[in-house]
Structure 1
Amino acid sequence: MKRIATVALSVILLIGMIIVTPAAAAGCYQSGCNGQDPQVTRCVDDARNLASFRYTGGNPYLQGALLELRQSPACDAAWVRVTDGDCFGEWRPCGAVLEVQGGTAQTTEPKPGQRWTAMWSFRNYVRGCFTNPNYVTGGYVTDQCTAWR
């Protein structure tokens, strides 16, 4: 009898682990994700690419860099991830941005390797772009983008 109870308890625990979804594990949802890191909130756990492309424009520090517009269904938020490229502060200025219609653009740090923007609610239209500095305004200019999603 004790063995049957142990097996039954094990089955119940296993079913409970299967039912736990990424949404339950995520640390934010929709506008609650605005400005947050997708790694810290675990929104990366169910992330998928909506679009991606390699840079072919005129900035030598971005040549071959991969831009991915990512989205988490559990968090209902989007962000941009960039892999490769050789951006580094004011000496090799470039980067990427998650542009948000009706919201605040989220930018990456200008550094080599893999980096990502903070997230924004996927209730807004978003797109991912490579960027170059605009020395006149102090902002950025986009240089190759995904379609708005």
Structure 2
Amino acid sequence: MDKSKILEIIKLKISEKIQNFENLIAETRASSNDTKSSMGDKYETGREMLQQEVNNLQRQLNEILNQQAIVQKINAEPSSKVQNGALVKTDKGLFYISASLGEIVFDNQKIMTVSAESPLVKAMHGKKGGETFVINNIHQKIESIW
């Protein structure tokens, strides 16, 4: 498995999300400016709702920026145990420990990107190929680690 290409896919996906959130924030702020009027309280309420939406988008953008910082520290070197940056194959699936971005497809294989803080990774952290772990009463065996 070429972890460097998987890492590039993840970095690209994060960059796209950052761009998307920045665009949404800019559009929401622009529409907030459009609602300025001397008509009264209902416009103030509308502006407040838009400001809350901007704050929500900003919070989500900050989360993605934190994920980007984590991913920037990951190298594509082979791993011998489960740790941040490891690509882990279990009998239940393929997991890349980096940032929680959901499923990506690489070489026609589905890979779940998971955070090192996730319960799954905490359950298998530090383990090596051939070892087993249990999460939600489901036994999994680590088949290989890259």
TM-score by length of 1: 0.30
TM-score by length of 2: 0.31
* The structure with more strand, counted as a fraction of residues: 1
